[in-house]
Amino acid sequence: MPIDLRPHAIAVGGDAVARDADGRVVFVAGALPGDHVQVEVTEERKAFARADLVAVLAAGPDRVEPGCPHVRVGCGGCGWQHVEHGAQRRLKRGLVTEVLERQGKVVDPVVLDGPDLPPNGARTTLRGLVVGSRFAYRRRRSHDPVTVADCPIAHPLIDELVVEGRFGDATEVTLRASARTGERLVVVTPDASGVRVPAGVEVVGIDELQKGHRAWFHEEVAGRRWRVSATSFFQARPDGADALVAAVRDAVERLAPDAERLVDLCSGVGLFAGTVGAGRRVVAVERHRPAVVDARHNLADLDVRLIRASIGSWRPSAADVVVADPARTGLGKEGVAAVAATGADACVLVSCDPASLGRDAGLLAAAGYRHAGSTVIDLFPHTPHVEVVSGFVRPEGGAGRG
């Protein structure tokens, strides 16, 4: 039975937060603070419930009509196309502030906006399903596919592959491109048989990669050229990677201006080791073998020692500052213990999930590090995904506010 609600906040993950007539918290997919909505409860727990939006009875000030027709028929690629662009940035900043206060126990955290990146035509990596040889996203909150004729958020080099690509009998596909070199790479699962794409696009099957075949493309970010293998992580837009490098560099220079020794944890293909670490002695730690091979190529001209290891198995090296860019799960106890074991007086943490940031902030505080400001880099407009660069400093060894 539908019920009427008036959401008042946004939760991590992008759902709106409301309370029903009994005071129970209800998370509503597709709603926004300030809306008056009718919803259908889909899941009930003792402490909360989840609901889907049935109708918007009165739109709040941040709601707009989605610009993409595929969103209107259920495409799950962009969960926030119904949110005005400026409001997206404000809501993300509020989320980060809230988790730092609630989970990290940070009093009056300083949280700033990064540069305003264009919301459309910028994404250089898309992952999706294949249906009838065509690219498809998953439907919102479902594994069911939604075939799309084009994709407004994609860079034109990627959108051409969405429109013209035919991916044979593959079940999944990853489309990758360099906005600055023009190179393109298509990775298909399980194999590349029957794939047809525009001339000049490299195609590789997961089966080939598993047999040791190498495939990569190059991107240019922060004045350097980066080789990125088919399965190596790299930020999905070069202007966003530029912004991340700038924010990390600013935090390092602010919190550890005299740092000579830098540890780069979860270093990937070497983005921060090769930019922020330039002119310093760097130890870079990464567990993914193809990324380590890429980093060895990308950092050959710099004073960098590469170590292939997980954070938990790495024997910490002494450092003046640590830069860490972990996966969505964050540093956790092992990662924070490794940071502390380096003896570094400053840590710059790149987080891609607000909940893990809040937890890591609390763990770092317990290890003696004080929050010294965060910058939200909106790498994924039209989605609730949040990327944050945060500084942490030991009070006796650095400066900052937070």
Q: State the catalytic residues.
A: 352
Task: Give the list of residues 6+ apart from residue 118 with CB closer than 8 angstroms, or none.
Answer: 239, 381
Q: Is 373 left (phi over 0), alpha (psi -120 to 50) or beta?
A: left
13: left (phi over 0), alpha (psi -120 to 50) or beta: left
Going by C-beta distance under 8 Å and a sequence separation of 6 or more, which residues neighbour residue 91? 10, 62, 83
The tokens for 35 are 């809306």
Q: Which helix (H) or strand (E) holds 297?
A: helix 289-298
CA 264 to chain centre: 18
Q: What is the DSSP string of 57-97?
A: EE--TTB---S-HHHHTTB-S-TTTTB-HHHHHHHHHHHHH
User: What's the token pair of residue 170?
Assistant: 């593959």
Q: CA 236, 237, 239: angle at the middle one, nearest 5?
A: 150
From 345, 357, 347, 344, select the one nearest 387 (Cα to Cα).
Answer: 357
Question: Which among 305, 369, 367 is positioned nearest to 337, based on CA atoms?
Answer: 367
Q: Taking Cα atoms as reference points, which of 185, 201, 241, 234 lies closest to residue 377?
A: 241
